[in-house]
Amino acid sequence: MDGMQLLQLGKRLTELGRDAIDQAGPTSLTPGEVAVIADAFRNPDCSVREIVARTGFAQSHVSASVARLRERGLLQTVPDPADGRRTLVRLTDRARRAVRSRADHRADEAITRAIADPGRAERIIALLDELAPLLLPPTTGQ
């Protein structure tokens, strides 16, 4: 697999993931806000700078997303006890429950709908179940 194929695969998996998450219920969040929440879920008590580094979004975009999500009661910010100049970002309990609810919704239906051949869809699901723990870091925010 070359780099371009990997990027195309990532884009396709993102589309399937969004479809699976949408099945769990509608959301009024932008894709950027979803990415910020997902990062804060996996990395509790992190700084905006750390979210920027992991998501690849501009600092201004992450800062604006954090402010909007804080206003909506989905994120909270607290001073870093080790360095009062830094602000740490964490999910509220309400957001954590919503993330868990959506995360528990398997993507099988979305994959099966997207792939015309049921046998091929089943094989893709099995391969993704095998691949995920090999490529994804262990989560700390659950």
Q: What is the pLDDT of residues 86-139, one digit of tens each?
A: 899 999 998 888 777 776 678 898 899 999 999 999 999 999 999 999 998 776
Indicate whether this model's pTM tops 0.85: no
Please write down the HEC assignment for all residues of the chain: CCHHHHHHHHHHHHHHHHHHHHHCCCCCCCHHHHHHHHHHHHCCCEEHHHHHHHHCCCHHHHHHHHHHHHHCCCEEEEEECCEEEEEEEEECHHHHHHHHHHHCCCCHHHHHHHCCCHHHHHHHHHHHHHHHHHHCCCCCCC
On whether the 28-104 domain is CATH 1.10.10.10, my answer is yes
User: Which residues of the chain form CATH 1.10.10.10?
Assistant: 28-104
